Amino acid sequence: MNRLLGHLGFTPAKKAGAKARAAIRKVFELDDSLGEAYALSGAYRAWLDFDWRRAEDDFNRAAALSPAAVETHWLRTLVLLPHNRMEEAVQEMERAIELDPLSPLLHSLFAWLLGFKRDSRRALAESETALALGPEHPIALGLRGSVLYFSGRLEEGVALWQSAVSKMAGAPTMLAALGYGLGRLGRNSEARAILAGLDAAEKKSYVTPFSRGLIYVGLGEIDAAFEWLDRAIDERDVNILHFAVKPVYDPIRADPRFHALLRKINLEP
């Protein structure tokens, strides 16, 4: 599970993905009957290639070989969500949670997904369950913050993202979510301070372009947002997979450039 979630913007996705794919190939050489390996292969086909058909083929094979593997179900949402196949994605997450009901991470991801579906009531309830299972879990805290953003409760969402960032200092994608919320609240100097911090961090280590793109969306600086989100696609940031359905992009959804980015990830003809 952590193979994908561990990518928090510290490492170039193409580099991380190449290493992961090499490991998957070795697994297939030893045993090509492991459903979990097909699920990971499908995830990387979606993430790195935007090859949705072949990714779905891999997930179908994974489901046939390992229907009781958690990864087979939650990873499949990486193909379902970009195509707005919400009900199928909900079913996959429900099955994953049946298999691992005490995982705060799975409950957090399910809450996030329900937020994409605009089901605020259920998303908030699911995120509360996640925090009950893992009160100090940084991803549970942060994704509860995102669900609050989606519900229009920006102040509360920012507070939770601040807590999440404090527990995983320097994670670029977490800082992006915090900066986005600050920008939406008009706390522009604080959002810009995060941008400056990312600039400084980049002198020593990799920082995903997605982080700046999301903050610029929050600040309402749309030209800069599109510039950085386009770079994020080029660098294959995993967060781009949710681009079509994530509520935070509502302010830019009507812009022709938004649809151009969707075409770039093979989501529009």
Domains in the chain: how many in total?
A: 1
Sequential DSSP letters for 153-165:
-HHHHHHHHHHHH
Residue 6 lies in a domain: no
pLDDT by residue (tens digit) across 68-92?
999 999 999 999 999 999 999 999 9
Mean pLDDT computed over every residue of the chain = 93
Residue 157 lies in a domain: no
Q: Give me the domain span that covers residue 267.
A: 170-269
Residue 246 lies in a domain: yes
The candidate with the shortest Cα–Cα distance to 147, out of 175, 128, 173, 166, is 128
pTM assigned to the model: 0.93
The Cα 96–Cα 71 span in angstroms is: 8
pLDDT by residue (tens digit) across 186-230?
999 999 999 999 999 999 988 999 999 999 999 999 999 999 999
pLDDT at 10 (0 to 100): 66
Residue 184 lies in a domain: yes
pLDDT at 8 (0 to 100): 60
For 217, the token pair is 């969306």
Residue 225 lies in a domain: yes
The Cα 162–Cα 39 span in angstroms is: 33
Categorize the per-residue pLDDT at 182 as very low, low, confident or very high, splitting at 50, 70 and 90: very high
- C-alpha 69 chain-centroid distance: 21
